[in-house]
């Protein structure tokens, strides 16, 4: 009887500490890159989304394009690169079972000034990688909803 009482006390103490300092989970995973020049080689992103679509938005001096890059995403992504201009672009769904990779590039051959590049997705895990190559962006941390 005494052991059960001690266990109950510990559980209540842990629960109250956890709820007092807990933050609400964000509604969606997101990363925002600001004020950079996107070089022709672009930026490569890798994430592990759910079956919900990844949405990419940008404010840039010229149109951009988004291309599948080197993962099993190619099984779900058909039709080549997609143009990203003023409207948000929803990428094909990956079904949520795989990590995916895609590259954001200038639509033309020249470097393009980007004011904001934002990715939004629902995550399966905290996998997030951005390969910058010759494009220099400030280091940023994504917000995860998983």
CB 65 within 8 A of CB 28: no
In a domain, 61, yes or no: yes
In a domain, 20, yes or no: no
In a domain, 55, yes or no: yes
In a domain, 54, yes or no: yes
Q: Is the pLDDT of residue 119 over 90?
A: yes
CB 73 within 8 A of CB 98: yes
In a domain, 51, yes or no: yes
In a domain, 138, yes or no: no
pTM for this one? 0.80
What are the tens digits of pLDDT across the range 22-59?
567 889 999 999 999 999 999 999 999 999 999 999 99
CATH number at residue 127: 2.60.120
In a domain, 82, yes or no: yes
Rounded Cα gap, residues 129 and 103, in angstroms:
12
Q: Which residues of the chain form beta strands (DSSP E)?
A: 29-38, 43-49, 55-60, 64-68, 82-84, 89-90, 100-106, 112-121, 123-131
In a domain, 110, yes or no: yes
Task: Report residue 104's pLDDT band, with 50, 70 and 90 as the boundaries.
Answer: very high
What does the pLDDT read at residue 15? Answer: 31
Structural domain total, the chain? 1
Domain that holds residue 105: 25-131
The mean pLDDT value of the chain amounts to 84
Rounded Cα gap, residues 96 and 13, in angstroms:
37
CB 69 within 8 A of CB 143: no
């Amino acid at each position: 009887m005494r052991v059960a009482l001690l266990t109950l006390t510990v559980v209540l103490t842990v629960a109250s500490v956890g709820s007092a300092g807990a933050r609400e989970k964000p509604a969606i995973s997101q990363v925002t890159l600001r004020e950079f020049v996107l070089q022709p080689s672009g930026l490569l992103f890798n994430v592990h989304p759910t079956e919900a679509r990844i949405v990419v938005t940008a404010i840039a001096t010229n149109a951009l394009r988004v291309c599948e890059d080197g993962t099993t995403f190619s099984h779900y992504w058909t039709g080549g690169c997609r143009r990203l201009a003023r409207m948000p672009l929803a990428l094909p769904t990956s079904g949520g079972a795989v990590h995916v990779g895609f590259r954001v590039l200038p639509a033309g051959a020249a470097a393009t000034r980007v004011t904001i590049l934002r990715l939004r997705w629902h995550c399966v895990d905290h996998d997030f990688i951005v390969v910058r190559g010759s494009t220099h962006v400030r280091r940023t941390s994504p917000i995860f909803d998983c």
